């Protein structure tokens, strides 16, 4: 899997040895239909990169009602749980497998290891996170 297809890593001048380390730190995880990849109520120290399949994303509102936020397909190279890269493990939405899904997971601990080895790449990654969060906030406000 070419991890550079994920927007999180785009624009980052990632050296081949950095890509190799990052790829080696990512763990394959498989989910079946209706499995929760992320639960909004859990503090999970991992983020996920969708490699194959589709997911639905929803959230529980203040009244306890489940609100659909959207769907994502592996063809768009989505990732979820990026708040771990900011030291926040509490999730803000549910991500649920819609059929068979294959993901790569990256733990906060492993990302810290990566940052220690390749600190010059981190500013690009954080800029990409900020851009994604801004886009999601703009959509939520609409």
- pLDDT tens-digit series, residues 58-116: 999 889 899 888 999 999 999 999 888 888 888 889 999 999 999 999 999 999 999 99
Between 124 and 35, the more confident residue is: 35
Distance CA 39, CA 55 (A): 13
The answer on pLDDT for 56 being more than 90 is yes
The pLDDT > 90 percentage for the chain reads 54
Residue 23: pLDDT band (50, 70, 90) is: very high
pLDDT band for 119, please (50, 70, 90 cuts): confident
User: Of 39 and 41, which is predicted with more confidence?
Assistant: 39
Q: How many Å from the N-terminal Cα to the C-terminal Cα in the chain?
A: 34
Categorize the per-residue pLDDT at 13 as very low, low, confident or very high, splitting at 50, 70 and 90: low
Q: How many Cβ atoms sit within 10 Å of the Cβ of residue 126?
A: 14
* Longest distance between any two alpha carbons in the chain, whole Å: 49
Contact of 78 with 37, CB cutoff 8 Å: no
pLDDT of residue 125: 87
User: Residue 9 to residues 18, 43, 68, 124, 125: CA-CA distances in angstroms?
Assistant: 11, 24, 27, 7, 6
What the block records as the tokens of 47 is 């983020």
Coil, helix or strand for 141? helix
Residue 134 has pLDDT above 90, yes or no: no
The CA distance from 21 to 112, in Å, is 12
Confidence of residue 51 (pLDDT cuts 50, 70, 90): very high
């Amino acid at each position: 899997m070419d991890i550079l297809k994920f927007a999180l890593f785009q624009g980052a001048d990632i050296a081949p040895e950095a890509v190799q380390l990052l790829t080696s730190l990512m763990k394959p995880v498989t989910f079946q239909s209706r499995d929760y990849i992320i639960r909004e109520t859990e503090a999970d120290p991992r983020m996920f990169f969708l490699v194959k399949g589709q997911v639905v994303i929803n959230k529980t509102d203040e009244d306890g009602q489940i609100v659909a936020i959207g769907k994502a397909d592996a063809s768009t190279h989505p990732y979820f749980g990026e708040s771990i890269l900011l030291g926040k493990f509490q999730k803000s939405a549910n991500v649920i497998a819609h059929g068979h899904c294959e993901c790569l997971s990256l733990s906060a601990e492993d990302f810290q290891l990566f940052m220690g080895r390749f600190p010059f790449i981190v500013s690009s990654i954080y800029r990409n996170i900020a851009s994604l969060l801004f886009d999601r906030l703009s959509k939520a406000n609409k």
